Structure 1
């Protein structure tokens, strides 16, 4: 999350109507040269995390204005914290969007793609799997 403080994080989560309390999360900041320091938010249980991610998806683009935060308007991002291997696979999988795959996403640490609304999701296992789909 690119917000400034734990208080703002709690306010964003409450504005998402996630039903969270401050005790439901642990917040740690990441060292950054930017004025907008990212935070890692750890949830006490998976259901709470899933609820926040779903609410974020339903709400669309988040910014400080629509989350009722003070100061200059800025975007707010809420994403899963992924292991490096999954980040790399997701980055490579997004190349599939240029060759007929409409959707590429991550859920529960797994990378998926889908050609269209009616097609079945494909779980991407590794980089070679992405390369194979690119050649089809």
Structure 2
């Protein structure tokens, strides 16, 4: 392995590690390839080739107006610059991760007043408000017109799946409440009344199971699925969502653990 410094006429220096007979690094503003043999090195530019011998005296070579020089450099100097670039990449990666998590949190906060209803068959000309009222009556929640900001269907997350079963499932219904407390009250009532079906919503046809949940972001839906899979594998007794946050608890005597991102999955032991 040869450690070589190649300099331009502006005094800029590019570091290259040249292995015998191997293309190792792209260097310089017009240098595209670098090769090394037992006793010489070759730099291939966009205009042609520059050749020189492996020598500790730092001989310089001129080619097409650009000056390239070679000198054996300190390995520690080379490795320290590699380490600096490595640390910069780590910092940039952490910054990107932090910004992504902040955007995800804001996205989830924008859904705190929402309920998501799954399993209601879709029909042309359907009355979604009427369906919601029927469900509210069935679970014992006193729904009033002022509770509803809007209601509509959305394509299910993962509906691009190649699975025939996934593609046959109806779009989910999203209900946005004007007050978060009213949304939480209806969700609590629905959780007490288990076994809801489309017949309870006043929808004709064979009854199908329906489910009412917090409206999670796609990222948190994936996180919740992973949490359930890992929690089941590790023998956790409780895995649930409260106010759009994911919690786990291994047993009745253990404390609840909040799972906010993939890193938190390491807490499930």
Same fold (TM over 0.5): yes
CA contact under 8 A between 1:43 and 1:49: conserved in structure 2? Answer: yes
Aligned to 1:21: 144
CA contact under 8 A between 1:101 and 1:115: conserved in structure 2? Answer: yes
Listed as ranges, the matches of 1:4-83 within 5 Å are 4=122, 5-6=127-128, 7-25=130-148, 26-31=150-155, 34=168, 36-65=170-199, 67=200, 69=202, 70-83=204-217
Matched, 1:102 2:226: no
Aligned residues: 133
Structure 1 residues without counterparts, runs of 5 or longer: none
The structure whose residues are more often helix, as a share, is: 1
CA RMSD in angstroms, aligned pairs only: 2.0
TM-score where L is the length of structure 1: 0.84
- Aligned residue for 2:213, secondary structure, equals coil
**Structure with bigger RCO (C-alpha 8 Å, 6+ apart):** 1
Runs of 4+ with deviation above 3 angstroms:
31-37
Aligned to 1:93: 227
- Aligned residue for 1:75, secondary structure, equals coil
Inter-partner Cα distance in structure 1 for 2:190 and 2:239: 17
Inter-partner Cα distance in structure 2 for 1:98 and 1:71: 38
* Larger Rg belongs to: 2
**Shift, 1:11, TM fit:** 1.1
TM-score where L is the length of structure 2: 0.45
Inter-partner Cα distance in structure 1 for 2:172 and 2:222: 20
Aligned to 1:123: 258
Aligned to 1:133: 267
CA contact under 8 A between 1:10 and 1:22: conserved in structure 2? Answer: no
Cα–Cα, structure 1 residues 18 and 128, in superposed 2: closer, same or farther, change >3 Å? same
